[in-house]
Amino acid sequence: MAQRLVEIRSYKLKAGEAAAFHEAVESTVMPMLRPAMDVVAYGPSAHEPDTYFLIRAYADLADLEATQAAFYGSNAWRQGPRKTIVERIESHLNTVLWMSQASVDDLRRSNPTLA
């Protein structure tokens, strides 16, 4: 079975910014991000009010690096919602791991934001 490289990005948001961050993600970021890469799941964390997550899947590390470089280096991102998003983030942490396509699909189905 094919494996996918899954990136889990966890954001620690500035206090009180979660609702505005989520609104910006929903209204401006996801319409840009989803056509550019495989967004598996995203949303507010269930355990802390100022924590958010974004899970994406790639073919391999080279695909992750090329896809993200193209998206985050684009004028559409830099001149679009970048400032609104970045100014609400205190810090972030990325983790990557290999998962089966079936596991990626299970993550996708379990996320109500993408349902």
Asked whether 90 and 17 are in contact (CB, 8 A), the reply is no
Residue whose token pair is 């990325």: 94
pLDDT for position 78: 96
| Residue 23: inside a domain | yes
* CATH number of the CATH domain containing 9: 3.30.70.100
| Residue 115: inside a domain | no
Strand order from edge to edge, sheet including 51-58? 38-44, 51-58, 3-13, 89-100
Asked whether 39 and 25 are in contact (CB, 8 A), the reply is no
Q: Can you give the residue range of the structural domain that contains 35?
A: 3-110
| Residue 79: inside a domain | yes
Give percent above pLDDT 90 in the chain: 89
More confident call, 111 vs 112: 111
The structural domain count of the chain equals 1
Q: CA-CA distance, 103 to 105, in Å (whole number)?
A: 5
- Give the predicted TM-score (pTM) of the model: 0.93
Q: Mean pLDDT over residues 95-109, rounded?
A: 95
| Residue 75: inside a domain | yes
| Residue 20: inside a domain | yes
